[in-house]
Amino acid sequence: MIPVAEALDKVLALVAPLPAETVPLRAGLGRVLAAPVHAMLTQPPFDASAMDGYWLATADHRPGARLRVAGEAAAGRGYAGPLAPGQAVRIFTGAPCPAPGGVVVLQEDVTREGDTITLPETLSPADNIRPRGQDFAEGMEYFPRAPLTARDLGLIAAMNVATLSVHRRPVVALIATGDELVMPGEAPGPDQILSSNSFVLAALAEEAGAEVRMLPIARDTEDSLRFAFSLAEGADLVVTAGGASVGEHDLVGAVAADLGLERAFWKIAMRPGKPLMAGRMGDAVLLGLPGNPVSATVCALLFLRPMLAKMQGFDGRPVPARAVLGADVGPTGPRTHYMRARLLPGESLPQILPVESQDSARMRLLAEADALLIRPLGDGPRKAGDVVEFLPL
């Protein structure tokens, strides 16, 4: 068995960023830039009013001054007329200022009678003007190293960029294995269970930006597994669930080896999830996950998601957070233990409590958990109040 950190290094060494493709900005949500974008203009492109009020020259900004309103400026419709000392322009938020410099006095601070305004005796020091280029200048580079958010797309749109160079989405072929499995909606036989792994793994991969092909369940025969692998042709990453252990019905490793698998490792010093396998298989990478639902999910969080992140050009290694242990826990033994846990409010750090059972078949407890409490390999007993690390769920 190898440590978790070594296993993560090995699976990440199997994958590389995928080639770039061009997509319209509207399709950019969740995609990862393969090249930076550059602002095509300066924003704002002119000095703009930040408030509704009256623009006037700095020289006329005097307590109690009386000024004549010469015209109006609104967003998309500036004032282009002449201006003389002692004149003001009615202006609205976002409108271009009619001349360099100047001040915008808030409408509520001004007394207006007809075309004449009177300034207050006490003036605000704020000019209420957004200067040209306050947000960004033409040519500014923007290159976030994470999936694009709605906020990113808003900025890029303001930069007048209509298309994006992004990494191609990874294609994941997902194969659940086992004679005992049936799909949700079917009637399981007396010795069968529902195939939940396919759905949690597909959802995790899609959340991570992949395109998922959920293949038919592979039965515990070499012919069925070979057929399933043939359906995975063209995928960047083939993910199996089950069949990676050492029983006589666990055939994934043997069949994959016959099909050319160059195995990078097998078995990790972690729980849940010891029987994990990875390697190259033709033009694809194989990640063989355990069959127990909790084990498969935890391994997908720790290994599948970072692999998909790297294939899209960014670092997706899990980053632990810290919490205060809310109950005593025993030693971990020879494997790192990722314990399902709940988070509670704390003072400076949240409090974390392991759930009542860590049985790797109990998906309900995983669905209800907030976090995975990380108990390092070889760690001794811990007392309530100790600071520990966890991965948010």
Q: How confident is the model at residue 101 (pLDDT cuts 50, 70, 90)?
A: confident
Distance (Å, whole) CA 273 – CA 288 = 11
- 4-61 pLDDT per residue, tens: 999 999 999 999 999 999 999 999 999 999 999 999 999 999 999 999 999 999 999 9
Cα radius of gyration (the chain):
31
Tell me the mean pLDDT in the region 280-289. 95
Q: Indicate whether this model's pTM tops 0.75.
A: yes
Residues 302-340: tens digit of each pLDDT: 999 999 999 999 999 999 999 999 999 999 989 999 999
CATH superfamily label, 20-43+135-167 = Molybdopterin biosynthesis moea protein, domain 2 (3.90.105.10)
Q: How far is CA 311 from CA 32, 170, 202, in A?
A: 10, 7, 17
Per-residue confidence (pLDDT) for residue 14, from 0 to 100: 97
Neighbours of 339 (CB within 10 A): 22
Question: Is the torsion defined by CA of 356, 273, 291, 352 positive or negative?
Answer: positive
User: What local confidence, expressed as pLDDT, does residue 1 receive?
Assistant: 86
Short-list 265, 276, 267, 274, CA closest to 241: 276
pLDDT of residue 322: 98
Query: Residue 260 corresponds to which tokens in the numbers above?
Result: 């050319």
- Per-residue pLDDT, 361: 82
Confidence of residue 244 (pLDDT cuts 50, 70, 90): low
Q: Which CATH superfamily is domain 321-392 in?
A: MoeA, C-terminal, domain IV (2.40.340.10)
As given in the structure block, the two tokens for residue 207 are 């959340």
**pLDDT score for 275:** 87
* pLDDT at position 245: 55
DSSP-derived letter for residue 75 is T
**Domain residue spans of the chain:** 4-18+169-312, 20-43+135-167, 48-130, 321-392
Nearest to 86 by CA among 115, 113, 114, 122: 115
Has residue 248 got a pLDDT over 60?
no
pLDDT above 70 covers a percentage of the chain that reads 98
What's the mean pLDDT when you consider all of the chain?
95
pLDDT at residue 246 tops 80: no
* 249 has a pLDDT exceeding 50: no
Range 48-130: architecture per CATH: Beta Complex (2.170)
CATH architecture for segment(s) 4-18+169-312 = 3-Layer(aba) Sandwich (3.40)
Q: What is the pLDDT of residue 388?
A: 97
Yes or no: say if 275 and 298 are a contact pair by the CB < 8 Å rule: no
Greater confidence (267 vs 71) lies with 71
Name the percent of the chain lying above pLDDT 90. 89
Residue 193 has a pLDDT of 87
Q: What is the pLDDT of residues 133-182, one digit of tens each?
A: 999 999 999 999 999 999 999 999 999 999 999 999 999 999 999 999 99
